[in-house]
Structure 1
């Protein structure tokens, strides 16, 4: 099924993990795919961008418009996670988390709006279940992902009249390099891997291709009546109460 033939998609943070799976899904369905991240990317048309720099967003969109002449889909996937409690986090680190996880999506949307208005395009933001709940030492990550969920709703309300839809996906535990590195940092990684599936009613952690499938659905015309929504994809983890 070639749902995105003739369309141009931008996926930030598209050189690994969830971002790469999303980019591959769009390409497999006919889209011309650009990715934007700090390092060069060879599989797609890569744009080198450091989203801690506020100028990167406008430069990225301008680069794509120069090369492709249009933009139909924007996926804000690039992000960072820093573990620290509030007392130990510096204002500089807090600001950097905000710039990468929340200000960059805002600026990318702002720069992309004229072109998405022309194409009646779709925005999909990659939030997190940590925008709904919290893990220890993730104050900045939780705050920025909750903010991204709020931004999603606001864009949907303000720009629905322009034919632009904006939704978000809130993944749970997905098998990415970031999460695998976290497991490897545990005192007993094998025991952690064995136990992690038990917190999910579905009995396992998620795969990047499953998030990519949901993002593709939200970007496609078949979801044309869906906007302003936050889709949790977590194997039922957030729905499960702890034992009494």
Structure 2
């Protein structure tokens, strides 16, 4: 991207950065000359080859691990994080209607997809309090939501509930709270539909499923990780989006809803 987005030297932390949207975002922010810290859970993957990126392992479900992540990011990458991109998440592939879902699945999905973002945002805001003016001027939290958070998703209510909480609970709440710490701080959510990532690869092999998934999508395509990463960069930019906060930005090809699946008898 040739346009100066005002992200040169800005410290960006991307969670769930070992693959898919996260890894694409890492590479894009590197191109934009940001200082990138990449979080991963268990497998570092392609991040290991990126010598200009600080890669840090953390369990987002664990309070001490998350606090350490923000502290280590500041120590190893030139100071406090300015832009937090909450990208990590799990989507259990088994179909489990609420009536049949095990409590352990529900609790683990919310621990990763909702408690993790809470812990990350809390640790980020605490470190932001003591940051200098330049860090605060670029302050931004970006959640990666989902069309599931808007329309729901039958047999994946745990995932849908966690994403809806980010989009419609934390985003509007935090956009009002962050300005008490960083007066120009912003909070937004970028919400994809189906994206061709490793997490979705098995599901997207089913052509009939893809046809149903795109039935209400005018652009008739599954997004690429680059489609989403570029939108994240635009929202992170204080130049392009400095007056945008509290927004849910749907990056879904114009999706209007979901077909019932399986159909009602």
Q: 2:13 and 2:163 mapped to 1: Cα distance?
A: 20
Q: Which residue of 2 aligns with 1:110?
A: 122
* Offset at residue 51 of structure 1 (A): 1.7
Equivalent in the alignment of 2:84: 74
State the partner residue of 1:236.
254
**Which residue does 1:176 correspond to in 2?**
197
1:30 aligns with 2:51: no
Per-residue deviation at 1:195? Answer: 6.3
Would you say 1:227 and 2:237 are equivalent positions?
no
Separation (CA, whole Å) in 1 of partners of 2:18 and 2:110: 21
Question: TM-score normalized by structure 2?
Answer: 0.83
* 1:84-127 residue CA offsets vs partner (Å, 9 max, x unmatched): 22233222221211111011111111111134353121110001
Aligned equivalent of 1:5 = 8
Q: Distance in 1 between matches of 2:7 and 2:208?
A: 42
Q: Secondary structure at the match of 1:60?
A: helix
Please identify which structure carries the higher helix content. 1
Q: Distance in 2 between matches of 1:195 and 1:226?
A: 33
Q: CA-to-partner distance for each residue in 1:140-165, whole Å, 9 max, x for gaps?
A: 10110011111011000122242211
CA distance, structure 2, for counterparts of residue 77 and residue 8 of structure 1? 16
Structure 1 stretch 42-51 or stretch 97-106: which is displaced more?
A: 42-51
**CA distance in 1 between partners of 2:257 and 2:234 (Å):** 23
Distance in 2 separating the partners of 1:13 and 1:130? 19
How high is the TM-score relative to the length of structure 1? 0.90
Classify the secondary structure of the residue corresponding to 2:36.
Answer: strand
Unaligned runs of 5+ in 1: none
Could you list the runs of 5+ residues in structure 2 that have no partner in the other structure? 261-265
Whole-Å Cα distance in 1 between the matches of residues 25 and 213 of structure 2? 24
Establish whether residue 63 from structure 1 lines up as the match of residue 72 from structure 2. Answer: yes
Give 1:67-146 correspondences, 5 Å limit.
67-68=76-77, 69-82=79-92, 83=94, 84-117=96-129, 118=131, 119-120=135-136, 121-146=139-164
Of the structure 1 ranges 190-199 and 147-156, higher mean CA displacement relative to structure 2 is found in 190-199
Aligned-pair CA distance for 1:191? 4.6
Question: What CA RMSD, in Å, does the superposition of the two structures yield over aligned residues?
Answer: 2.1
- Tell whether the 8 Å contact from 2:60 to 2:120 is kept in structure 1 after alignment: no
Deviates more, 1:112-121 or 1:126-135: 112-121
